Structures are given as structure tokens and as C-alpha cells.
Amino acid sequence: MRDRVRRRRFNGAAGDAVVTLMVTADRIERAFETVLQGHGVTGDQYKLLHILRGAHPKGRARSEVARQCIRRSPDLTRMLDRLARAGLVARVGDPDDHRRSVARITKAGLALLARIDPELRAEARRLTRPLGKTQLRQLARLCDTLGT
């Protein structure tokens, strides 16, 4: 890993850990993006579909979707519009508040996720193959701790 960024020490143990985590996250994200590109969606679009699947069939308002996103995106409305044009999302008026709309995943969106998810699970297994179950659980706990 250090050879990749051409340094021996970054800034002590904390610096080493953060840089190594960033490089690893980039590697994982690129591998997932390759799978997603094969299905014609980006990582951010996949994440939106995943969020909407969790709210199926009711849907979510844009503000609720934004709160659940891993990364904030100023382009959220345009992404939802693109997914709607592709038939993966439907945007309808909110029956409780006529000033806002609700995005719902469509049958086509659910079918797309059903095709993508097994490939992403396989890619996750491939990327984490060097780790045992105990190490994977420990890694998840450590990342969760850092993320809070």
C-alpha cells in the first residue's frame, strides 16, 4: 500500500491509518463502479435506488433521500430526474404536503437492483477474500467507530 503512494510514513500511526483507509476505499469504489457501469448506472445512482428500495412502496421525499445519502450531492434532484427518465424511479406529489414530491422506485428499478446486487456481493467477497469472518466483523466495527 505504501508503495502505491510512494511514502514510508505519512504522519504517524493515525496518518498511516487514514491514508491507507482512503486508498483502500478508492480501490473498492472503483471495483464497484466497474460492476455498476456494466448496468448503466453510477455509484450515486445505485445508492439512490438502494435508498428508495428501502422505502418501497411508500417512497421518500428528496430531503429524506438526501439525509440517507453517504455523500452529500448538490445534484440530487437532477439524479432523481435522470432515474425517472430511465423509468427506474417515479416522482409523484406528496399526499401530505403538496409542495413537495416523493420519489418511488419502480418495478424496473427493483429488477435492476436484483441483477446488480449479486454481482456487488460477489465483488465484495472477492475484495475481502484475505480476511476471515472475525476480521470482517472487526473491520466493520472499526469503520463504524470512525464514522460516528
pLDDT digits (tens, 9 = 90+) for 51-108: 999 989 888 888 788 777 766 666 888 888 899 999 999 988 767 777 778 899 999 9
Return the sign of the alpha-carbon dihedral for residues 54, 75, 39, 144: negative
pLDDT given at position 100? 76
Cα(1)–Cα(12) distance, rounded to whole angstroms?
15
- CA dist 83 and 133 (Å) reads 36
Contacts of 61-68 spanning 24+ positions with Cβ under 8 A: 61/94, 61/97, 61/100, 61/101, 61/102, 61/103, 62/100, 62/101, 62/103, 63/100, 65/103
Q: Which three cell numbers stand for residue 81?
A: 430526474
Q: How far apart are CA 31 and CA 99, in angstroms?
A: 39
Contact between 104 and 90 under an 8 Å Cβ cutoff? The reply is: yes
Predicted model pTM: 0.80
